[in-house]
Amino acid sequence: MKRFRWGMIGGGKGAFIGGAHRIAAKIANSYELIGGVFDVNFERAKEFAFEEDIDLKRVYPDIDAFITSENKMPSSERIQVVSIVTPNYLHFEHAKKLLSNGYHVICEKPVTLSSTEAVELKEIAIKKGLVFCLTHTYTGYPMVREMKRRIEAGDIGVIQRVDAQYLQGWVNPIIHGGNARLSVWRLDPKVAGISSCMGDIGVHAFNMVEYATGLMVKEVLAVLSTLKPENTLDLDGNVLLRFDENLTGVIRSSQIATGEENNIQISVYGTKGAFHWEQENPNILKMMHEGAPSEIITPGYDYLSSFARDSHVLPPGHPEGIYEAFGNLYKGAAMAIRGEQTVPGQFPGIDEGIRGMQFIEAAVRSNKEGNRWVSI
């Protein structure tokens, strides 16, 4: 099985998320990194390429040079798939150019700065017959996938409540550090877009809610906080969710939750039982029952769904984490690019990107307009 000729936009030297993408691609065993635009500083990009043993002729100063040079190459040599791991405001420009020129795209979230831009990318991808993968990484965890399948099978009955959270504390020391916050791009609306907290991590919780339950949120009511008057983007918020008149839920998200690291959790409560999963202990799926002991479900066993089994590489008792979850998304994208059959939930695509942007826009609008219900 030949590996795809793979490129990256961003993600060079010192970029954590770029390293995560490269490890995920190696785990998926379907990609070979051969070129890209690794840094806005061309010399630093070449240093990175040298360290990674990448041909310096395939290192480009910008996206236009990348496309111009790669398009001149024979199809047997040209890069086929490109990952975009740049700040938010560049996603649309880069994805549009890549899709328009025939490259499959794997993109960081949020997919764009607006739902209108995201819809435009979908139209191009469909027209060109290309795969678009959005890295909502948490959907790659085996126990999240097992929860999804068991909910689909009706194991907890009719869903009555959904509760999700994503709490971090990393912005807390920055926001109290005077001018230090001016150097953080996620707090700059020109770079990050209309939201910091909801746009960065709240959207992950939203995606997890719709992924796990298979339901679509119809309305949101948001109360967001910038913490300080001089800040323009939200750093903390609570969002009520309405699926229909009988089913509601909540997303609690913060970047100023002091001491929190990467605390994303989801609980789904049904008429017969409930599921609880948390990312900081990802190999455990807790299933709760009415009037009976709770179950602890772990990866690697034959009693799991085929989807969960196929998403776990090692035998039971061998922990897998964020890189393996990332790798499952890269694996799913590779299957789709090859034209192989994929199953629902194999990897997030442009539709999830559109939904995410609609959620962010609705939450910001709800807060701005006096904390009222806003349709998605």
How far apart are alpha carbons 251 and 237 in whole angstroms? Answer: 8
Q: Which CATH class is domain 142-313+350-375?
A: alpha beta
- Per-residue pLDDT at 175: 86
* pLDDT of 214 above 60: yes
182 backbone φψ class: left, alpha, beta (φ>0; ψ -120 to 50)? alpha
- Per-residue pLDDT at 245: 85
Q: Quick: pLDDT tens for 157-211.
A: 999 999 999 999 999 988 887 665 556 888 888 999 999 999 999 999 999 999 9
Domains of the chain, by residue range, sit at 4-137, 142-313+350-375
DSSP calls for 232-291: -S-SEEEEEEEEETTEEEEEEEES--TT--SEEEEEEEESSEEEEEETTSTT-EEEEETT
- Per-residue pLDDT at 179: 61
CATH 3.40.50.720, applies to 4-137: yes
- Per-residue pLDDT at 181: 59
Which helix (H) or strand (E) segment holds residue 133: the answer is: strand 132-134
How far apart are alpha carbons 99 and 125 in whole angstroms? Answer: 6
- Per-residue pLDDT at 318: 87
User: Residue 105 — very low, low, confident or very high, per pLDDT cuts 50/70/90?
Assistant: very high
User: Residue 230 — very low, low, confident or very high, per pLDDT cuts 50/70/90?
Assistant: confident
Q: pTM for this one? A: 0.94
- Tell me the CA distances in angstroms from 260 to 230, 233, 237, 254, one per residue in order: 24, 20, 15, 9
As a whole-number percent, the residues of the chain with pLDDT over 70 amount to: 98
Q: Quick: pLDDT tens for 285-344.
A: 999 999 999 999 999 999 999 999 999 988 888 888 999 999 999 999 999 999 999 999
How far apart are alpha carbons 218 and 201 in whole angstroms? Answer: 20
Q: Quick: pLDDT tens for 27-69.
A: 999 999 999 999 999 999 999 999 999 999 999 999 999 999 9
The 10 Å Cβ neighbour count of residue 320 is: 22
Under a CB-based contact definition with an 8 Å cutoff, are residues 104 and 333 in contact?
yes
- Per-residue pLDDT at 298: 97
- Per-residue pLDDT at 178: 65
